Every structure is written in C-alpha cells, then in structure tokens.
Amino acid sequence: MTEKRNRKLKLHGFNNLTKTLSFNIYDICYASTPAQREEYIEYIDEEYNAARLTRILTEVAQIIGASILNIARQDYHPQGASVTMLIAEEHSGPGKLSNSAAPGPLPDAVVAHLDKSHLTVHTYPESHPGNGISTFRVDIDVSTCGLVSPLKALNYLIHSFESDIVIMDYRVRGFTRNVRGRKHFIDHKIDSIQNYLARDTKQRYEMIDVNVYQENIFHTKMMLKEFNLDDYLFGTAAENLGPRERNLLHKRIKREMLEIFYGRNLPAGS
C-alpha cells in the first residue's frame, strides 16, 4: 500500500511487516508390490535428501535477495530430511528487492531465518498400506520481514520438485508506520498468488483461489491438468498392463489427486 500511486512508502523506522508464504507440494506414484513401494520411497528420499534441499534453499536465498549466515541439516531414519539456514536481508543496490507482481525465475525439512524471519522445508514420503499409492509431500514456509519478498521464489520451488499438486497460502501480518505515524498493514498490491506464477505454470495447472482480501490472506490450489499414466507408475509401464488394469489405476490415482486437491475424502464409487 502506498500513500500515492507510483510513490514509495516512506517509513518511520524498520519495515516490520511479516510476509509469509506457505505451500505443500505433492508427488503421487503407484507401486504395485511392497518391495516397489519401499524402493520408490528410498528413491524419492535420496533424490530430495538434505544435501539437495540445501542447494535448493541456497538458490532461494539468492533469488529473494538474502545472504546466508549459517546452515544446519539432517537426514532422518527411515526417511525425510530437514535443513536450517540462517539468512539476513542483503542490500545489494537499488531494484534487487521487489514486491512487483511479476513471475520469479525458474530452476534448473528446510528452515531459514531472515532477521526475525524464517524459511522452512520438510519432506514426508509415505505409502498407502493396501492400494499401492505412494505420495511424497514437501512442506515449505517462507516468512520474511523488510524488503525481502518470498513470492519471487515461487516458480523456482515449484519447478525444483515433482509437483502434481501445489497448495499455497500467502499472508501479510502486523503493521508498519509511515513518517507521519499512519499504520500500513500491507506495503504492496496483490489480489492473487497466481499473479506471481510463470505462464507455463498457469498453462499446466488447474487453479482455484480462496482469498480473504480484508485480512490480507491469499490461498491458491493447483493440480496438473494433463494425466499420463506412465508418469505415475514406478517399476513398470502402462503398455505392460491390460486395459482393465490401466483403467482401474487411472481412476485410483486420479481419485487420490482429487482428494488431496479438495482436502477431503470422496464418496465410495465416485
């Protein structure tokens, strides 16, 4: 929010608005046997171990304009990982830090702190005990103060993981004051998280918004539009399955995706 259009907000002291971006990323897979399910979980756990998560978060720090102070990381047994990265706002010249509604760069459990702020990523591989469905969930929280905007890291993070479903929340909390003492509860214009997504992301995903503008709360859910069964099979290919089994697995995987997307169990037979 600015006092006049195209004018920067002149503050009294530090900008202590807290901007928090939280999202869950899901990858879904079908593995027919217990051994294949265990192999999938081992594969995904190694693919996104603490070392790789550290590299991803290091890039995130550069994207949002923060310098790294300290790093701690941990791989868990039997699966999962977390990384803690202390970071601080980096002042590297005008224009580097921005809240503009333009997509951030694309790529190739983590926690980071920014002067009273933090980022977190944790991984959760799991599998269904009976129907062969396995999922890999990544929880990411980016909470920043000052000029640093977490929204610039959206596209990089979405492309850094195998993202079938992405559920995002963005909220601005607290207030800051201008030089005349007037409170400002947001320092940038936003009407949807979708404004910060790259065009190719918008084309690939079905999206819905649930926003509470008066509370500065923005919520977006994304699910892949196109469904290719081979992308969800681990240890086999669709051509090795009969028509009936392919149809059954298509329905089973799609149901899993819809339940995660809508956040509720669907009625039997739907």
Q: Which residues are catalytic?
A: 117, 122, 145
Give the distance, in angstroms, between the CA of residue 48 and the centroid of all CA atoms in the same chain.
Answer: 14
State whether residue 192 is helix, strand or coil. Answer: coil
Beta strands in 76-164 (DSSP E): 81-89, 111-114, 118-127, 133-144
Q: Are 149 and 97 in contact (CB under 8 A)?
A: yes
- Residue pair 30/253 in contact (Cβ under 8 Å)? The answer is yes
Rounded Cα distance between 198 and 203, Å, is 9
Residue labelled with tokens 């509604």:
101
CB 106 within 8 A of CB 152: no
Closest CA to 184 of 216, 162, 151: 216
Q: Tell me the C-alpha distance between 25 and 125, whole Å.
A: 12
